[in-house]
């Protein structure tokens, strides 16, 4: 174990989070559990919320946005069955927490965030934590990111009214996407598989995300 891990005062809280909030609720994928055990979530929240970083709920990150509940992040990522060869498009970088987890599992993560300030701080933090396979752009991710398309995996961390066509178009054949769909407060987390140009949609769970804002 590297010395900085031994010195991490949040390590035991983090391991407890993985066991009691994630594994106990049915996420069994070891790669996902290990990634959650490694990423220092307390670094991704404002200083005043650090003490709550490993609790079972979302937290404010400024700009009226939130870092997602750890279980929802685990559920979304486990459903996507990400391999180390996959290129991922993430819409809604926010704090960069989920980006860091994706980066541990995938080949490269292209993340898009519409708030310039959030994008900048996530980029700096991900760099400081040593993630070299991540690119954070400022912009409207609901229109996708054509530059690096097609993607094996698309993860959307903000709720849309319907599945954006541009994101389906940028998904590879055999690709997977997770996206919350529905109005504020009552959304469903949907898992989409694209096979030979056709999409299959499955509902994973109910959820509550901030809205995906287009334009
Ligand atoms: N997974 C993130 C959650 C961030 S909240 C985390 O763990 O921190 C969702 C984010 O989506 C917000 O930061 C919001 O600004 C961003 N967002 C909303 N609409 C967007 C759009 N069209 N393109 C890119 N980002 C968007």
Q: Could you tell me the pLDDT band of residue 7, with boundaries at 50, 70 and 90?
A: confident
**pLDDT for position 47:** 97
User: What are the Cα distances from residue 47, in Å, to 66, 103, 133, 170, 210?
Assistant: 14, 24, 26, 37, 22
**pLDDT for position 5:** 54
How many angstroms separate the first and last alpha carbons of the chain? 45
Q: Mean pLDDT, to the nearest integer, of 75-94?
A: 98
Q: Which of 131, 149, 161, 143 is nearest to 89 (CA)?
A: 149
User: Could you tell me if the CB of 39 is within 6 A of ligand 1?
Assistant: no
Q: Mean pLDDT, to the nearest integer, of 22-42?
A: 98
The atom number, within ligand 1, closest to the CA of 96 reads 8
Q: Mean pLDDT, to the nearest integer, of 133-140?
A: 98
**pLDDT for position 185:** 85
**pLDDT for position 6:** 59
Interval between CA 94 and ligand 1 midpoint (Å):
5
Are the C-beta atoms of 130 and 107 separated by less than 8 Å? no
Interval between CA 99 and ligand 1 midpoint (Å):
11
Interval between CA 86 and ligand 1 midpoint (Å):
21
User: Could you tell me if the CB of 102 is within 6 A of ligand 1?
Assistant: no
d(CA 159, CA 153): 17
User: Could you tell me if the CB of 27 is within 6 A of ligand 1?
Assistant: no
User: Could you tell me if the CB of 113 is within 6 A of ligand 1?
Assistant: yes
**pLDDT for position 26:** 97
More confident position, 137 or 4: 137
Phi, psi of 108, rounded to the nearest 5 degrees: -150, 145
Residue 36, sorted as left (phi over 0), alpha (psi -120 to 50) or beta, turns out to be alpha
Assess whether 214 carries a catalytic annotation: no
On the question of pLDDT at 88 being above 60, the answer is yes
d(CA 91, CA 47): 25
User: Could you tell me if the CB of 114 is within 6 A of ligand 1?
Assistant: yes
Q: Mean pLDDT, to the nearest integer, of 70-93?
A: 98
Of 93, 134, 141, best ligand 1 pocket probe by most atoms within 8 Å of the beta carbon: 93
E strand or H helix that includes residue 121 = helix 116-128
Active-site residue, from 12, 68, 142, 157? 68
Q: Mean pLDDT, to the nearest integer, of 193-207?
A: 96
Q: Which class for 204: exposed (0-12), middle (13-18), buried (19 or more C-beta within 10 A)?
A: middle
Q: What is the DSSP letter of 42?
A: G
Q: Could you tell me the pLDDT band of residue 215, with boundaries at 50, 70 and 90?
A: confident
**pLDDT for position 86:** 98
Q: Mean pLDDT, to the nearest integer, of 185-192?
A: 95
Q: Give the least confident one: 31-40, 98-107, 147-156, 179-188.
A: 179-188
The atom number, within ligand 1, closest to the CA of 68 reads 7
d(CA 47, CA 147): 35
């Amino acid at each position: 174990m590297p010395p900085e891990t031994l010195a991490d005062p949040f390590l035991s809280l983090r391991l407890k989070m993985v066991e009691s909030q994630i594994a106990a609720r049915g996420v069994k994928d070891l790669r996902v559990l290990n990634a959650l055990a490694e990423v220092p979530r307390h670094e991704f929240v404002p200083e005043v919320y650090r003490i709550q970083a490993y609790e079972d709920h979302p937290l404010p990150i400024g700009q009226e946005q939130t870092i997602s509940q750890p279980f929802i992040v685990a559920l979304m990522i486990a459903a996507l069955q990400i391999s180390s060869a996959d290129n991922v498009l993430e819409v809604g970088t926010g704090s960069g927490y989920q980006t860091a987890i994706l980066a541990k599992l995938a080949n490269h993560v292209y993340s898009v965030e519409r708030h310039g300030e959030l994008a900048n701080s996530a980029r700096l933090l991900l760099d400081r934590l040593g993630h070299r396979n991540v690119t954070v752009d400022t912009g409207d991710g609901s229109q996708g990111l054509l530059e690096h398309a097609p993607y094996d995996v698309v993860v959307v961390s903000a709720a849309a009214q319907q599945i954006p066509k541009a994101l389906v178009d940028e998904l590879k054949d055999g690709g997977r996407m997770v996206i919350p769909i529905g109005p504020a407060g009552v959304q469903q987390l949907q898992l989409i598989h694209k096979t030979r140009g056709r999409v299959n949609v499955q509902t994973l769970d109910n959820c509550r995300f901030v809205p995906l804002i287009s334009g």
